[in-house]
Structure 1
Amino acid sequence: MIRFVTETGSTNSDLAAQLRAGETVAEGQWLVADRQLSGRGRQGRTWFDGRGNFMGSTAIHIAPRDPNPATLALVAGVAAYEAVSKVLADPSQLRLKWPNDLMLGKAKLAGILLEREGDAIIVGMGVNLAAAPELPDRKTIALSALGPVPDRDLFAHSLAREFDRELERWRTYGLDPLVRRWVAVAHPAGTSLVVQPPGEDRIEGSFAGLTADGALSLRLADGSTRAIHAGDVMLANEES
């Protein structure tokens, strides 16, 4: 079920407030806004409020046998990839970038934000359907640059279906198949990356896939690999 609202501060914040108030937020329900006045991205960034874009959130109630909740970012990424690929005439340049971005070429098309509220994980997603923000540190793109703007409501239903499918696979089969599927639609092995781990200097290396637990595997200049569990990741020359 999808609930559409004309305007709100943040769909993530709205679902978090419902959960804190003891209200039922069933899995499979989405809150989608025409406008977000206080949308957020990772690391405190402001999320672009582009009318005609997809901006929505859903909540996942974590069960004891579920995989690591942080890997829901991979679930959301694969779901976003599948939904967007269906509205592109040529999806060959569509790629996932760890941990939370969907790229078209070297430009950011969509982002994902996970936030915890009690035993639930709120998954917020934004997809540039109609317009893309101008950011100082990275290139962005909207699907409108490639052709007609996809209908936001139809896209929302498609994305919700893909997310439900990937969530069920995550719970049923665990991380191994998810990691393989994520890597299959990510940028190629050997792609140059720049990583900014929290509290550390920037690290340069190349994409060497994901670890078994869903972390980024970064190959360094000396041939060793390092598992990155948190940080800002950019493609080399991604900056605009």
Structure 2
Amino acid sequence: MIQRTDIIWLAEVDSTNRFALDNFRWFESGTMIAASAQSAGYGTKGRAWLSPPDVNVYASLVLRDFPFPVHSAARIGSLAVLRVLRMHEPGLPLSVKWPNDILCGHKKIAGVLCETRDNGLVIGIGININMDREAALRASSNATSLFIETGKRQPDVGIFVSELRNTALDLLEQARSKGDSELYEEWKSENYLSGRSVSIRCPDQNTVSGLVVDFSPDGAIILVENPSGNIVEIRSGDLLGY
């Protein structure tokens, strides 16, 4: 069993994911690295993640000997964020946006980034908790926070870190005991893009447009391409419109 008491709190770090990866060999599986601020936070493809002090969750969960593919870890992170936010605000219109964002309505409230190291991986999670509108606009025109959505400031951002860790480890134990197909179905049912028309720029710089009809177990988004009607599976890319 993974110990559930190991949370390492840092006042500031360049990035909790980078810190976890650089020191991976020293951490037990289940260790959570959390920081009050990040000086060089990053998301997918190294994009900067604005990380002002004392207002948001910046955390990374270390998992050794992870028995599933990386996309399963991303599902665990995304579902953990959904469950924890719903504990606090059950009425929020939350969803997952492929490949790694959490939306509230049409705006991004959180992100998940999984990176591998040696025989395991790190699940990085950023959630905008008490960020105000001005700071959110500096982050992105499409960013929001729990405070912006509810008008309520959370007195203790740290409680979200503890809840995220416990929820993610619960999901991991569920996957280990039953397989990860249930998590796949739950993640798929939460996806914002289902039934929507999207445009995606693929790694080869070609753009594919079509209707989202499904998501594969390995994390690919499945489109009916316009105008050909071909079925296309895309495993990575940038959403240009949705």
TM-score over 0.5 for the alignment? yes
- Superposed CA deviations along residues 137-181 of structure 1, whole A, max 9, x for unmatched, are 751101111231232111111111111111112223233211110
Q: Pairwise mapping of residues 54-203 of structure 1 onto structure 2 (< 5 A)? A: 54-63=57-66, 66-91=67-92, 93-131=93-131, 133-134=136-137, 139-145=142-148, 146-150=150-154, 151-187=156-192, 189-203=194-208
Deviation, structure 1 residue 188:
5.7
Q: Is the 8 A contact 2:98 2:193 kept in 1?
A: no
- Superposed CA deviations along residues 90-142 of structure 1, whole A, max 9, x for unmatched, are 12x21101111000111111011111111121111100001153368751101
Q: Pairwise mapping of residues 27-46 of structure 1 onto structure 2 (< 5 A)? A: 27-46=29-48
Deviation, structure 1 residue 224:
2.8
Between the aligned partners of 2:114 and 2:60, the Cα distance in structure 1 is 9
Unaligned residue ranges in structure 1 (runs of 5+): none
Unaligned residue ranges in structure 2 (runs of 5+): 1-5
- Superposed CA deviations along residues 17-44 of structure 1, whole A, max 9, x for unmatched, are 212xx42x11221111001001111111
RMSD: 1.9
SS in 2 for 1:157: helix
Q: Is the 8 A contact 2:147 2:153 kept in 1?
A: yes
Q: Is the 8 A contact 1:56 1:126 kept in 2?
A: yes
Greater alpha carbon shift after TM alignment, 165-174 vs 124-133: 165-174
Between the aligned partners of 1:106 and 1:135, the Cα distance in structure 2 is 17
Q: Is the 8 A contact 1:175 1:214 kept in 2?
A: no
Q: Is the 8 A contact 1:75 1:170 kept in 2?
A: no
- Superposed CA deviations along residues 45-88 of structure 1, whole A, max 9, x for unmatched, are 0111133100010111135xx22123211111111111111111
Q: Number of residues paired by the alignment?
A: 230
SS in 1 for 2:169: helix
Give the alignment partner of residue 207 of structure 1, picking from 203, 212, 225.
212
Q: Is the 8 A contact 1:8 1:36 kept in 2?
A: yes
